[in-house]
Amino acid sequence: GAGVSQSPSNKVTEKGKDVELRCDPISGHTALYWYRQSLGQGLEFLIYFQGNSAPDKSGLPSDRFSAERTGGSVSTLTIQRTQQEDSAVYLCASSLGGLVGETQYFGPGTRLLVL
Amino acid sequence: AQSVAQPEDQVNVAEGNPLTVKCTYSVSGNPYLFWYVQYPNRGLQFLLKYITGDNLVKGSYGFEAEFNKSQTSFHLKKPSALVSDSALYFCAVRDNAGNMLTFGGGTRLMVKP
């Protein structure tokens, strides 16, 4: 079966531009997570969606970051007015129901470089 | 707040020898512990997890991990290392209070022929 997919795999943008990163979770998974992996900060949580509940946005680093999940499936992470410190690998994960002991399955990531 | 420590940035081991990658954690409630592996330019691949029950957990590719509550540790082990095991390994924890995994800083495993 298909795993978590993300697009684009690589994105190069100029400082100040907006970018959109896409995540397709595993079919049937109701929980979706975004994480960021950077050299200085390691792996850090950004945002969590579970079904129709309000998302947990507690990890978003600034108001330039936002995410939505349409139809309970595909999610888009948007970064407005990108800064060089936004350069990182953005990882999406999904799990079956969001329960605490469930395995989160990760996509290949989108490598973002802000020039 | 939950946290994970991986005290070794890199572990070097000869092929065929046993390997251990260390992980200690801190949570306020019951810990749910995970190991992931990352190969170059790839996402995280799930290896194994501890939820409850037997303290020795077996996972993919011959890896296992031992949960030790008193030492708050969850070390990853393999009896005989392969060159193909060379990768970046992440330990992660989750508790009932949060929705996310908290990761350690990662340990690079280098297996030399």
CA proximity to B99, closest of B25, B53, B32: B32
Gap between the Cα atoms of A82 and A15, Å rounded? 5
Q: How close B25 gets to chain A, by Cα (Å)?
A: 15
CA proximity to B101, closest of B19, B3, B10, B21: B3
Gap between the Cα atoms of A61 and A90, Å rounded? 13
B93's tokens: 């924890």
Name the closest residue on chain B to residue A100, using Cα atoms: B96
**Quick check: A14 and A29 in contact, CB under 8 A?**
no
Q: How close A90 gets to chain B, by Cα (Å)?
A: 10
A33 DSSP β-pair partners: A48, A93
pLDDT tens, position by position, A47-63: 999 988 899 999 999 99
> What is the reported pLDDT for A89?
96
**Quick check: A13 and A64 in contact, CB under 8 A?**
no
Nearest to A100 among B36, B41, B94 (CB): B94
**Quick check: A89 and A110 in contact, CB under 8 A?**
yes
pLDDT tens, position by position, A56-101: 999 999 999 999 998 879 999 999 999 999 999 999 999 998 888 8
CA proximity to A51, closest of A26, A71, A65: A71
pLDDT tens, position by position, B35-63: 999 998 888 999 999 998 899 999 999 99
B61's tokens: 């590719």
